[in-house]
Structure 1
Amino acid sequence: MRELFKELNLSGEFIEHMIGLLLGDGYFSNQNKCKYSSQFIVTNVNPSYIYALSKLFTEEGIDHIVKIKEKKGSFPGSKMSSSIYTKFYVTFAEFERKWYETRSDGTHFKVVPADLKLTPISLLQWYIGDGYLVNLKGEPQRVQFCTERYTDDEIVFLRDCFLRDFDLDIQIDWSRRRLRIPKRKLNDFFEILPECPSDFKSELGYKWA
């Protein structure tokens, strides 16, 4: 049963994690359209990563469950996925109002908040969710972030956040609507990005140069 109106006193570090998750595949769900509470959901194809996040949620005092799919989805190329589903909290409703807008037709969609600030922790979670390293014959060539879901203005803003928050001047690949860290900037990028956590290094270590 849902617990409505339950407050959370989130730590600053957890909020940094949550920002990175929201920039990627994390999202808020409010199935019953109640404005007072919301549920936070994170999905990933790597169960070790989800279990590591589960530890983080537990340490923060957030009630949640982990679901592991036993089979792939029905569409071509789909993979098994694992998810975290939190209980409904009023605190998440506050974040939902900041990260979502509603169109005139009632469609609820994610936006990039104007006061977004990137940190190494938020960058780590965003990179795990939506970033990838491009190699050619075993040689790292560039890093890219999937940002095609965002508007042109949001993509430009996210690029500018790298410069403002990390002093890292990156590029936009407009043909694919993605952020790109070119080869000459890779050392600078990986100096900012925390190392791949040991809990899921066997699954996701390939993302690191």
Structure 2
Amino acid sequence: MTLRLNGNYLDRAVLQATPDAREKSVVGKFGAGFLRTGAAFGSGSFTHNRWYASLFYDGPPGSSLGGLDTGLIVHYIGDYWDDRLFTSDQKPRKVREWTTLDLVLNYTFNLSASVAQNEVAGFARDGGKNSKMKDGKGKNVMPVSTAEYNPCGRRAWLNNTTITLGLNNVFDLAPPFVAGSGENGYDEATANIKGRTWYVALTKRF
């Protein structure tokens, strides 16, 4: 099992429009109104907390589960203040945190080599040695090639192939409403409205 934690805490963020202007704190706030950029020109929140955690399981080497790599990822975006200029009562409004869960499963086929491939590359182990016949006479055995040329078939295509199955936003959670984002209704810089989505990927290593 492999556990990873990664995140950041934004302690201070200020805006100074001109060299002689007073600094304005924008940390923990939605950017559109405070930065005076407007939703049409891009925005984004300056939340204090953003982090993600992942927990993955790797199958034991040498077993049928040796190529398995599966786990979950949790994404967290902390709460922040909405732009009060866009709220219905012109009062400060808190935008709640947003937590989503993703699942991913990878399986890589690592097929064992055939018997011929496990011998010395190019020739059989006993090639070129004398061998006794039924009549007691010796006979020189010609080397037998065991090299594999242009392998094909199911084993060749499956070997070193990785199949990935993924599911994002497992609980189909909508992002929190942000009044300051205008017609979109959510913070496009940190969230999306795709909801629960799944994907499949196929990777072949040659």
Q: TM-score, normalised by structure 1?
A: 0.22
